[in-house]
Every structure is written in structure tokens, then in C-alpha cells.
Amino acid sequence: MKTLISGCLAMCLLFSTQVGFAKEVYHWSFKPNNNHEPADTEKEYKDLLDRYSGFYIGDTSHKTLYLTFDNGYENGYTKDVLDVLKEKDVPAAFFVTGHYLNSAPGLVKRMVEEGHIVGNHSWNHPSLPEISDEELKEELEKVKEKFTQLTGETDMHYLRPPRGTFNERSLQKTEELGYVNVFWSFAYNDWETNKQKGADYAYNRIMERIHPGAVLLLHSVSKDNAEALGRVIDECRRQGYTFKSLDELMFENWLKVGEEKA
């Protein structure tokens, strides 16, 4: 009886802890600035990202850009995006769901073959802070297992939190699972496929908010993005920007931390 009571108390404590974490669910947001100044976000968000090794922006003292795409499903434009990236020799990160891995395996293989990063966007796209630790782990492990099965690659280190929701528990648990949470300092309403407004609209929306260190969130379901991407890359380079991968960003952060500790 004593063992049973102890077990029940432990379960109750675990449940109350997880419920307590879930009470506070943050929705990622950023604050764009004018004149191509770097975007900002809430201090509380930045503190949490610093604590759990996440990021939303790169080194703002350099004109560097990081292209990231969310791939929840395929809409026929990822091939065009990959063609442009290959032609322009630009690296990108693609965050994929279980649905994408099952429905577009050839494109996922191509991403890897052409040197892009494939990140985890969860299997079913749930709000991670609102599911249990066990469910969270399963959501991420299923993606990684399927990715390895498809490509033979075992490395998957970057996570784009589905729906942009997070809290301290989700950041802590995903870090424990070996993931770096990647948020963003630029995004626009590009995912609504029935509200596309043309390549010029996408080009102008992106170029008006470009800033040093920007982590750009784009959706590959957008026809506008696919058609504007080449022009965006050319104009950014004309303005003195370079495109780097998330791996390069992490390496530079690692060097910076080492210098600060030295």
C-alpha cells in the first residue's frame, strides 16, 4: 500500500508539473524595424532561447542571411525552389513533417544530396508545449527515424517548433533530445495558397525587411516565393549580403562563446 501511494504521488507530481508548464504557452513573435535594422523580440523569449540554446537571428554585425523553409506538405513548388538554390549556389534549411516525408521522399533526398539541411518540424504538427513529454519525444523521433530510413543520414539537429508555440518545458525537453530550436526574424503571410499575390509582391515583402543576421522563414507551398526567390538572392547579393547555412551560424556562435569564456 505504501508503494502504491508513493507511486500515485509521483504520478500526480509529474502530471501537475506538466500541466503547470502547459499553462503558459508562448506564440513566437518578432518586432520588425525600419531601414533594414535587425528585428527584435520579447526579452523573455530571448532569455529562454539563451537558456536552452535556441536562436531566431544571427550575428547582426554582419550582412549574412539564413534561408529556412517550412515544408508541411508539397504543393508543387519545392522543385523550383531547389532549382534556384542550386543555380545560385545558396544553402537552405527545410523543416519537414511526417506528411512531407511520406508524400515527397524524392524531394527530401534531393535536399540532402544538394547539401541542404533537413530539420524536424514534428510528425503531426502539434503545439509542442501542449502535449506530454512522451508525445513530444515520439513526434520528433518518428520524423528522425523516417528521415534516416529515406536518406541514410542520422543527423537531425534543428527543430522548427510547429505553429511557433513554445514554453520553457518544450525548449528544455527538445534540447535534451539534441535539438536546437530555430525561430525567425522575418516572415510574412505566404502560406495561404489561395491568397497568392504574385512574385512582385513576395519580392517586395521580403526585400523591405531584409536585415543583417536575418533568419528568414518562408513556405515552399507559395508560388510567389518560388517565382521571386532568384531575384531576391540576386538583389541581396548586390546589396552586399551573403547566404550561409545554419551549421555555419552554429559554428560561429560556438566560436563566440569560446572567446567570451577565454
**Options 36, 70, 89, 125, the catalytic residue:** 70
Grid cell of 136 as nine digits: 513530444
Indicate the pairing of strand 215-219 with strand 64-71.
parallel
**Options 116, 121, 211, 219, the catalytic residue:** 219
Q: Euclidean distance between the first and final Cα of the chain, in Å?
A: 55
Grid cell of 2 as nine digits: 505504501
Angle at 258 between CA 257 and CA 259, to 5 degrees: 90
With contact defined as beta carbons under 8 Å apart, do 67 and 92 qualify? yes
With contact defined as beta carbons under 8 Å apart, do 83 and 229 qualify? no
Residue in the structure block whose three cell numbers are 525537453: 173
Grid cell of 191 as nine digits: 502560406
Respond yes or no: is residue 219 known to be catalytic. Answer: yes
Respond yes or no: is residue 27 known to be catalytic. Answer: no
What are the residue numbers of the active site? 70, 219
